[in-house]
Amino acid sequence: MSLFYDLRININGEYTFFLNQDVISKYSGSVRKMIKQSKKKRNKKNKDPEIITIEIDEFPGGPDGFELVSRFCYSNGGISIDVSNVSTLYCCSVFLGMTEKLCFSNLLTQAETFLEEVFYGSWNDIVLSLKNCEQDQVFLHADSYGLVDKLIFSALTKISRSSEAFSSSSPSYSSPSSAKNTPESDKRLTSWTVSCGRSNEWWFDDMSSLSPLIISKLIRITGAYKTNVKSLFLTKFLLHYLKTKLQTKSNKTELMRNKLEYSELADTAVRGVVSAGKTAFSCRKLFWVLRVLSSFSLSRESKTGLETLIGEMLDQATLDDLLIPAAGGSRESGFYNVDLVKRLLKVFVRNIEEESKMKEFGRLIDKYLREISPDQNLKVSKFLGVAESLPDSARDCFDGVYRAIDIYLQSHSNLTPQDRTKICRCLNYKKLTRETCKQLARNPKIPPDVAVEALKSSCENQEHRTQEVKLVNKSTCRSRRHSQDKKHVMLHLKGFDISEKLAEELKTKGGYNWKVMDSFREGL
């Protein structure tokens, strides 16, 4: 029986292999050493040394990886190596010390020989070998043994030779065979000149199939990491990569499992976008970037940097750009991300200098208000936050704001009188047209006090304009005529109660004789 089974090896606490000591120790120096140590311990305790039990933790590839090794040993050193298992076999052979010191053409030698062909072989072989490095408990070993670096350098070499994306004034790539022993600072590619075009993006989809650990390693090697993002082309690849991961439904579990790694890549992409700035990204493209990267946990610094860049270009935005859905899929706080728009508006107002651009943008914000007003979960405070974010000078006319308020009031029938009065505070009654004032006065959703104030301001406005005409034509008689004229303003307030304070004010303020008549509605 001992000829076939005198060794038990438990791998990562998951699976136990029943093996022959002589067969395994012939190829593995590490197993041979562990068997000797176990026998010494058993001899000291006077136990039967016939069956040895060994436990191995953190084995590359887990039980599947060790099964490949055991097949190699029981096949007298013969095994089929391909791009789907070469990375695993390489790590297993290094881990178990399967070198030429033990036998000719051991597993490590065979794996290294195959990898040399991969390094200088086809693009697909390199990508698939990197994919193999992602397998369970393989990546950490492949990374520490320098295999990931070598494969990435080979991939970068292929990219540089097959596209115009990367060019350097001096050689930037180390050979794969020397990458492991090269200092990290020497590995980095520090003098890239970027020429972005669709023809240079041929490798985007293939690399997007890799895990965030591999991509993070790629970014580190190229030197485009943390604040040192120099390559616009790599930034565009990162955006493509993150967008692809979001679009693939099967990746949702992976996104949660590697949340930290994806967040780091998203922050790196933001720094690249901010570094490139307005010359490389249009306002619409920046909104697209914001939509993609907001799905990841961006740092506060990254959010602020991206929002500042967009806010400075907000005069180029369209209504569709501003209609950003609320994050997380929850609509309890509103269908649209109004808080984000408010932050962007603060940046815009702080940086804008041209009055014409401000007024043009004011019309866009009025359209935005009308679009978000029907949202049942939109709070009055958020509506006012947007409406009042622009200075009064941004609007020559407030008719657009009134129409948004009207839509809001129609859509929110359960508002209290206080909220209905509150939402009207963003109106400048003096900048409402006469026709809009009439509509406001007839609107049953508008509180009566507001209606009176609006009509009063309209009449005062009309009187002021009349006085300006008189000043031009009859300047010598202006003071006397003005003191004699009394304007009779009739208001329809049927069904409403006016506060005593307002009623008293209306009687005397401005030198007008105010009359309240129920029949006025028909006259409007």
458-516 per-position pLDDT tens digit: 776 655 554 444 444 454 444 444 444 444 444 444 444 455 555 555 555 444 444 44
CA–CA dist 290, 299 (Å, integer): 13
Q: What is the pLDDT of residues 128-152, one digit of tens each?
A: 999 999 987 899 999 999 999 999 9
CA–CA dist 364, 341 (Å, integer): 12
Structural domains of the chain, with CATH: 7-162 (3.30.710.10), 351-469 (no CATH)
3-state class of 188 per DSSP? Answer: coil
CA–CA dist 232, 212 (Å, integer): 19
CA–CA dist 321, 284 (Å, integer): 7
How would you class 332 by CB atoms within 10 Å of its CB: exposed for 0-12, middle for 13-18, buried for 19 or more?
Answer: exposed
C-alpha separations of 271 from 186, 234, 295 in Å: 23, 11, 16
CA–CA dist 235, 204 (Å, integer): 11
* Nearest to 192, CA basis, from 169, 174, 161: 169
Model confidence, pTM: 0.78
pLDDT at 333 over 80: no
Pairing of strands 7-11, 52-56: parallel
CA–CA dist 151, 178 (Å, integer): 12
What is the per-residue pLDDT for 40?
81
Q: DSSP character for 333? A: T
State what percent of residues in the chain have pLDDT above 70: 75
Three-state SS string over 40-86 comes to HHHHHCCCCCCCEEEEECCCCCHHHHHHHHHHHHHCCCCCCCCCCCH
196's tokens? 């972005």
Sign of CA dihedral 184, 186, 192, 196: negative
CA–CA dist 88, 92 (Å, integer): 6
Q: Of the ranges 96-100, 400-404, 490-494, which one carries the lowest mean pLDDT score?
A: 490-494
pLDDT at 290 over 50: yes
Pairing of strands 488-491, 193-194: unpaired
Q: What is the pLDDT of residues 36-92, one digit of tens each?
A: 988 887 766 555 557 888 999 999 999 999 999 999 999 999 999 999 999 999 999
CA–CA dist 294, 326 (Å, integer): 10
Would you put residue 194 in left (φ > 0), alpha (ψ -120 to 50) or beta?
Answer: beta
What is the per-residue pLDDT for 354?
82
CA–CA dist 196, 187 (Å, integer): 23
CA–CA dist 501, 201 (Å, integer): 71
What is the per-residue pLDDT for 388?
94
CA–CA dist 265, 443 (Å, integer): 53
What's the residue count for the chain? 524
Query: Is residue 469 within 8 Å of residue 442, measured between CB atoms?
Result: no
Start-to-end C-alpha separation, the chain: 109
What is the per-residue pLDDT for 505?
53
Q: Tell the residue number behind the tokens 């007003």, with chain if given.
A: 373
Read off the pLDDT of each residue in 107-111 and give the average, rounded to a whole number: 96
C-alpha separations of 184 from 143, 175, 189, 222 in Å: 13, 14, 10, 10
Read off the pLDDT of each residue in 101-121 and give the average, rounded to a whole number: 94
Q: Of the ranges 55-69, 173-187, 383-397, which one carries the lowest mean pLDDT score?
A: 173-187
Q: ∠ CA 95-96-99 to the nearest 5 degrees?
A: 105
- The sheet with strand 7-11 has its strands ordered as 15-19, 7-11, 52-56
Query: Is residue 348 within 8 Å of residue 311, measured between CB atoms?
Result: yes
Q: pLDDT class for 385, splitting at 50, 70, 90? A: very high
DSSP string, 471-514: HHH-GGGHHHHHHH---EEEE--TT----HHHHHHHHHGGG-EE
Rg (CA), the chain: 37
Sequence-ordered strand ranges (E) for 139-194: 166-167, 193-194
CA–CA dist 311, 345 (Å, integer): 6
Q: pLDDT class for 257, splitting at 50, 70, 90? A: confident
CA–CA dist 145, 138 (Å, integer): 11
CA–CA dist 500, 391 (Å, integer): 33
What is the per-residue pLDDT for 75?
93
pLDDT at 195 over 70: no
Q: Which residue has the higher pLDDT, 517 or 379?
A: 379
CA–CA dist 306, 310 (Å, integer): 6
